[in-house]
A and B are shown apart, each in its own frame.
Chain A
Amino acid sequence: QKEVEQNSGPLSVPEGAIASLNCTYSDRGSQSFFWYRQYSGKSPELIMFIYSNGDKEDGRFTAQLNKASQYVSLLIRDSQPSDSATYLCASGGSGSARQLTFGSGTQLTVLP
């Protein structure tokens, strides 16, 4: 069974610090990886996706992928209180399947 594991947290960081969110996945056939942000009472919103090993940067966000270790991470630099949310990691692209497998999410709180 395909699984995506995340530390449920909660994770608290002070404003301006780097928040590091981690995720591991079980399906070696996964080709695509996603980070979604979900504010309380709202729907998941795509932040980043990554397909290749290494780092991918977008503004204050950096996604890191290590397929050998089956590990994905999201770094948020200069964390802001508005970053406080639950972050969902997801894997997909295994074979012909189109569905994503989601982790349970990590709750992040950025303290002013």
Chain B
Amino acid sequence: DAGVIQSPRHEVTEMGQEVTLRCKPISGHNSLFWYRQTMMRGLELLIYFNNNVPIDDSGMPEDRFSAKMPNASFSTLKIQPSEPRDSAVYFCASNGGTDTQYFGPGTRLTVL
């Protein structure tokens, strides 16, 4: 299996621009998680989906962040407008049938 796939791996953008991060979970996994990691705050859960339905979005920092999962093999995390404080590594993870989560390689976002 290819594992969790994320794109892009690196994103550099200017403040105010829209950013879209993409994730393809492991085939057959029915839960998908979006995390943000910074030195200051560690690994934070932003939102998670079960069977394509958002279950808990309490970690989404503000209305500028939104996430969708239109089908079992694709999810997006969008930031509009982006701000410098959004600079972080964003991870997507998936699991299926157990609590064990498998992480993608991450997207390193830099907002100038």
B is a partner of A? yes
Interface residues on A, range: 20 to 34
Stretch of A11-19, A42-50, A71-79 at the chain-chain interface: A42-50
Which residues of chain B from 94 to 112 have a CB within 8 Å of any chain A CB? 95, 98-106
Q: Beyond A44-B91, A49-B100, is A99–B56 a contact (Cβ under 8 Å)?
A: yes
Residue A87 is within 8 A (CB to CB) of chain B in the complex: no
For chain B, the count of residues having a C-beta within 8 Å of the partner chain is: 20
Q: Which of A43, A98, A105 contacts B42 (CB 8 A)?
A: A105
Q: Which of B55, B91, B100 contacts A43 (CB 8 A)?
A: B91
Q: Is the interface of B mostly helix, strand, loop or mixed?
A: strand
Residue A34 is within 8 A (CB to CB) of chain B in the complex: yes
Q: Is the interface of A mostly helix, strand, loop or mixed?
A: loop
Residue B60 is within 8 A (CB to CB) of chain A in the complex: no
Q: Are B43 and A88 in contact (CB under 8 A)?
A: yes
Which residues of chain A from 79 to 99 have a CB within 8 Å of any chain B CB? 88, 92-93, 97-99
Closest to A92 in B: B99
Residue B88 is within 8 A (CB to CB) of chain A in the complex: no
Q: Which residues of A contact B (CB under 8 A)?
A: 31-32, 34, 36, 42-46, 49, 88, 92-93, 97-100, 102-105
A-B pairs with lowest CB-CB distance, top 10: A92-B99, A43-B103, A104-B42, A32-B99, A102-B43, A44-B103, A93-B99, A98-B31, A43-B106, A43-B105
